[in-house]
Structure 1
Amino acid sequence: MAQERPRRADARRNYDRIVAAAEAEIARHGADASLEEIARRAGVGSATLHRHFPSRQALLEAVFHDRVELLCARAREMHDRPDAGNALLEWLQAVAAYGATTRGLARSLLDGGREAGPPRDSTCEAMLIEAGGELLRLAAETGAVRPDVSIIDLLTLVNAISLATEGSTGAAGEAARLLRLAVEGVRTTTR
């Protein structure tokens, strides 16, 4: 992968102002926040916004990247857990809770493959697939999950739950509860 050239100081400031303005607008209006309003709040012109972010998806990736990286780091920290199945479920619940409480994230993950933007392997979606895929592999090796379950299946489920609960009162708890219900099923357990 080619290394990105360092930005001039003014270009870096514009980039940072655009991302900060986008974070605020997306928190208020979701993934469909007005690009013109983001540029206005950042104090830049529309052309400057588009020079830094050639698509809406590229801007969304920049807004969510650091927080998604924290979720991925959490997955890596869970690799050595003795119960790989519980580690996977705990991580998926964290992803669902974050998606439910972060306006626009779940929607941006849905749109990730539909718009021109950053290379596929650098997207938030790809980062989550890689991090969660390793947890799923470990859980499958211990027999904690069915062998026919893929990380795409699980992240699609998480995304659907995040979309359904986004913005509701107690969204994080509700997302985690619904995910646990979906994963564990509706059967009762006998002791």
Structure 2
Amino acid sequence: MRADARKNYDHLLAVARAVIAEQGADASLRDIARKAEVGLGTLYRHFPTREALLEALLRASFDELTARAGGLEIAASPDEALVSWLREAVAVAHNYSGAIAAMVAAIADPDSALHASCTTMRAAGTRLLARAQVAGVARPDIDGTDLFALLGALAWLRDQPSLRPRADHLFDVIAGAILTERRS
């Protein structure tokens, strides 16, 4: 990519990140282009679909979550690793208000621009869940798909103004339902 094209790309991502954080994943692409001071054609040249833009925004965060899961596997007890990672994943999903629907749809659609990023992140969480299950501290009757669904539900709760004050409490309830026992 040429230097000027890379600069436009990076600038578009920064503006899109700010607009989506403020307005949600359904923010107007026209507004993003206008705030970035580029033409709509420039936006579409870099990101032909809303999903492609979301994938570019989420990829870095999902890659960080995947790496974080690897670190937690080594450094934390299985239950602590799982709960820490889940809390961080919920926070990332919440930062992109409204992106949960696209993330859930992408898991089932291999042609989706978000598919690879979402499945990689889900696999990282699944490894942490499996480790906790082998250690006997997580329910054996849930899998990575269930964990991803709970992540989505918890992020959705944080997106609801009337439920936001209860989000931490509800996270603890869900974490308690996943774990069979918490180590001291």
Under a length normalisation based on structure 1, what TM-score does the superposition of the two structures give?
A: 0.79
Residues 176 and 95 of structure 1: CA distance in aligned 2, closer, same or farther (over 3 Å):
farther
Which residue type is aligned with residue 48 of structure 1?
A: T
Which of 79, 87, 90 is the matching residue for 1:85? 79
Q: Secondary structure at the match of 2:136?
A: coil
Which residue type is aligned with residue 144 of structure 2?
A: I
Structure 2 unaligned residues grouped into runs of 5+: none
Query: Which is further off, 150-159 or 174-183?
Result: 174-183
CA distance in structure 2 between the aligned counterparts of 1:83 and 1:168, rounded to whole angstroms: 34
Aligned to 1:3: none
CA distance in structure 2 between the aligned counterparts of 1:116 and 1:77, rounded to whole angstroms: 30
Q: Does 1:53 align with 2:47?
A: yes
Q: Does 1:179 align with 2:171?
A: yes
Aligned length: 177
Q: List aligned pairs for 1:149-188, cutoff 5 A.
A: 149-166=142-159, 168=161, 171=164, 174-185=166-177
RMSD: 2.6
Q: Does 1:64 align with 2:28?
A: no
Q: Secondary structure at the match of 1:31?
A: coil
Which residue type is aligned with residue 24 of structure 2?
A: G
CA distance in structure 1 between the aligned counterparts of 2:11 and 2:160, rounded to whole angstroms: 25
Could you list the per-position Cα deviations for residues 100-125 of structure 1 after superposition, in whole angstroms to 9, with x for gaps in the alignment? 3442443442343569542732x2x1
Aligned to 1:4: none
Could you list the per-position Cα deviations for residues 2-29 of structure 1 after superposition, in whole angstroms to 9, with x for gaps in the alignment? xxxxx11121112112111211110111
Q: Does 1:17 align with 2:32?
A: no
Could you list the per-position Cα deviations for residues 23-66 of structure 1 after superposition, in whole angstroms to 9, with x for gaps in the alignment? 11101110000011111122222222112112111101112222
Q: Secondary structure at the match of 2:15?
A: helix
Which residue type is aligned with residue 115 of structure 2?
A: R
Task: Report the alpha carbon displacement of residue 91 of structure 1 after superposing the two structures with TM.
Answer: 1.3
Which residue type is aligned with residue 113 of structure 2?
A: P
Q: Secondary structure at the match of 1:149?
A: coil
Q: Secondary structure at the match of 1:32?
A: coil
CA distance in structure 2 between the aligned counterparts of 1:165 and 1:34, rounded to whole angstroms: 22
Q: Does 1:120 align with 2:112?
A: no
* Percentage of pairs with the same residue: 35
Which residue type is aligned with residue 9 of structure 1?
A: A
Name which structure has the greater RCO, CA cutoff 8 Å, separation 6+.
1
Structure 1 unaligned residues grouped into runs of 5+: 1-6
Which residue type is aligned with residue 125 of structure 2?
A: G
